[in-house]
C-alpha cells in the first residue's frame, strides 16, 4: 500500500490539506501507519494530475496558500478497487526488540531503563486511544481497540518477563564459565 492510496483513504473520511492529512495519520492511524511530508505532498500532486483528487486553494495571510483536497468519483472508485487485493503482511520495525536481543552488550541498568520507558509510553498510548474511542464508528472502535489490546498485552509481557533480559549481564558471566555446553 503506497502513500497515494493512504491519502485517498484519509480523504474519503473528509476533505483535507496535506498538512491535515499528516495530522490525521498521527491521530487515528499512528499505531499502524504513518507517512512523511516528503511523501504526502508529491502523492497529492500526482493524484491531482491523475484526476483522482480535486484541489481548491484557499489564500491565507502570512502563510502558504492552503490547498484543500477532495476525492473525485474516479478517486473513490480507485480507493475501493484497492481493497480487491488481500492485505499484505504487517511490517514491524522495532529498535527496542533489536536492543533486547543484544541486551548482553548493553551497560548494566540500561535494559531496565529501556523497559521502564517503554511501559510508560505504552500506558500513555492506551490512555490516548481510550480518550478517542467514545464518539467513533464501530470500524474505528475496532481498530483503536486492536491497538489497545496489543499495547496492554505488551505491557503485561514486559512486566512478567523482564527478568529474562535484566539478569542477562549476570547470566552471561555464568555462561562464560561453561563454554563446553555451547553449540
Q: What is the enclosing helix (H) or strand (E) of 115?
A: helix 110-132
Site string for DNA, 7-46 (x = CB under 7 A): ----------xxxx--x----------xxxxxx-xxxxx-
Site string for a second copy, 135-164 (x = CB under 8 A): x-xxxxxxx-xx--xx-xxx-xxx--x--x
Yes or no: say if 35 and 22 are a contact pair by the CB < 8 Å rule. Answer: yes
- Enter the C-alpha cell of residue 81: 478497487
Site string for DNA, 51-80 (x = CB under 7 A): ---------xxxxxxxxx------------
Task: For residues 171 and 167, give the distance between their C-alpha atoms in angstroms, rounded to a whole number.
Answer: 6
Closest to 67 measured CA to CA, from 3, 16, 11, 12: 16
Would you tell me how many other CB atoms lie within 10 Å of the CB of residue 6? 20
Instruction: Please give the residue ranges that form the binding site for a second copy (CB under 8 A).
Output: 1, 6, 9, 12, 28-29, 31-34, 79-80, 83, 86-106, 110, 114, 117, 121, 135, 137-143, 145-146, 149-150, 152-154, 156-158, 161, 164-165, 167-168, 171, 183
Amino acid at each position: 500500500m503506497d502513500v497515494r492510496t493512504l491519502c485517498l483513504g484519509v480523504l474519503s473520511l473528509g476533505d483535507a490539506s496535506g498538512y491535515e492529512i499528516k495530522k490525521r495519520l498521527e491521530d487515528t492511524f499512528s499505531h499502524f501507519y504513518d507517512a512523511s511530508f516528503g511523501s504526502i505532498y508529491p502523492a497529492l500532486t500526482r493524484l491531482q494530475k491523475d484526476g483522482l483528487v480535486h484541489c481548491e486553494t484557499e489564500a491565507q495571510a502570512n502563510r502558504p496558500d492552503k490547498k484543500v483536497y477532495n476525492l473525485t468519483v474516479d478517486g473513490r472508485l480507485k480507493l475501493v478497487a484497492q481493497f480487491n487485493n488481500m492485505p499484505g503482511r504487517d511490517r514491524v520495525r522495532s529498535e527496542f526488540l533489536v536492543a533486547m536481543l543484544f541486551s548482553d552488550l548493553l551497560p548494566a541498568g540500561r535494559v531496565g531503563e529501556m523497559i521502564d520507558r517503554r511501559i510508560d509510553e505504552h500506558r500513555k498510548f492506551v490512555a490516548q486511544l481510550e480518550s478517542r474511542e467514545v464518539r467513533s464508528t464501530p470500524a474505528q472502535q475496532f481498530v483503536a481497540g486492536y491497538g489497545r489490546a496489543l499495547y496492554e498485552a505488551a505491557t503485561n509481557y514486559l512486566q512478567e518477563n523482564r527478568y529474562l533480559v535484566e539478569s542477562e549481564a549476570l547470566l552471561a558471566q555464568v555462561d562464560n564459565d561453561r563454554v563446553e555446553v555451547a553449540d
